[in-house]
Amino acid sequence: MSSEFRLKKLRGSGGYVMATVTDEQQTKGNLGGPDLFLAPIGRLDAERITKYFCNTCEKEFEGPPKIEFENPNEEVAENLILAERGQYICSSCNASIAEYRNFKKEDESGEVGRAKPLDIHPPQSTLEPTPVSEPIPETVSESIPETVPEPIPETTPQPETVSSSSPATVTSLEGKQVFDENANKIGTAKQVGIDSAQSMVLVITKADDTEDTIPWNNIKKIGEIILLGNPSKEAQLGCPNCGFENKAGSKFCEECGTKI
């Protein structure tokens, strides 16, 4: 594969950068559409970034944004280590232009880019079952009205501290970025869970620090990022000029610059 550098537009959740990248980096940044994205590529050398655009400032700046990163080297899934996480930050307003995560395998012979749950069964509760009501004494007359409450069956105790609307924790995938099918970032993976219908879900933390759940069958691909195949159209804004679907809250189209 050619190592020749080419000037490309690389999109992020809060803007874009113009940078020279290799063919290999272009392949990483291609998520199946016409655009290239910065998150899968990771950290670029600052001198290879010629300029950037900040959605918050609604302005283009010459030169690179600030690049901040750390190396936690923590295990986030089976055979998957979070080696580095960082973000590109606007030098003017400190808004995030793009975030990225770099992962590595503990076992190089294992399958590339797979993050599999370690346990798909909800943890067993150690709580005592709900006390069973005392049965009606045998000496009670058969003429007792039918409204007398029946004893609670011993075979169906309900742990008092488990909410039917909250997913049970299965395993942590903290740190993986979640994108919809148009490569718009919708949040960061927190954990895998089981919902009230006993179906697997992915729990994510959105940009406003609130939590949401994604049905497991909506996940199209798990690799360095999590790509969904059934995004919520409510989280997108179609451009009236070119039809490009922008992320919620966008004031200008990220494709043609038309005001939305």
What pLDDT score does 215 carry?
83
| Nearest residue to 154 via CA among 124, 136, 127, 129 | 129
54-81 pLDDT, tens digit each = 999 999 999 999 999 999 998 877 777 8
Task: Give domain limits for the chain.
Answer: 1-107
pTM: 0.46
Dmax of the chain from CA atoms?
94
100-137 pLDDT per residue, tens:
988 888 777 766 444 444 444 444 544 455 555 555 55
Pick the more confident residue, 116 or 31.
31
Q: What percent of the chain has pLDDT over 90?
A: 28
Q: What's the CA gap between 49 and 13, in Å, rounded?
A: 17
pLDDT of 162 > 50? The answer is: no
d(CA 88, CA 42): 10
- Range with the poorest average pLDDT among 45-49, 144-148, 228-232: 144-148
* Between 124 and 253, residue with greater pLDDT: 253
- What is the arithmetic mean of pLDDT over 223-242? 67
pLDDT recorded at residue 45: 94
Asked whether the predicted pLDDT for residue 143 surpasses 60, the reply is: no
Nearest to 38 by CA among 55, 17, 59: 17
pLDDT tens-digit series, residues 126-136: 445 555 555 55
Query: Which residues contact residue 253 at a Cβ distance below 8 angstroms, ignoring those fewer than 6 apart?
Result: 239, 241, 242, 244, 246, 259, 260
Question: Is residue 150 pLDDT above 70, yes or no?
Answer: no
Percent of the chain surpassing pLDDT 70? 68
Is the pLDDT confidence value at 28 over 80?
A: yes
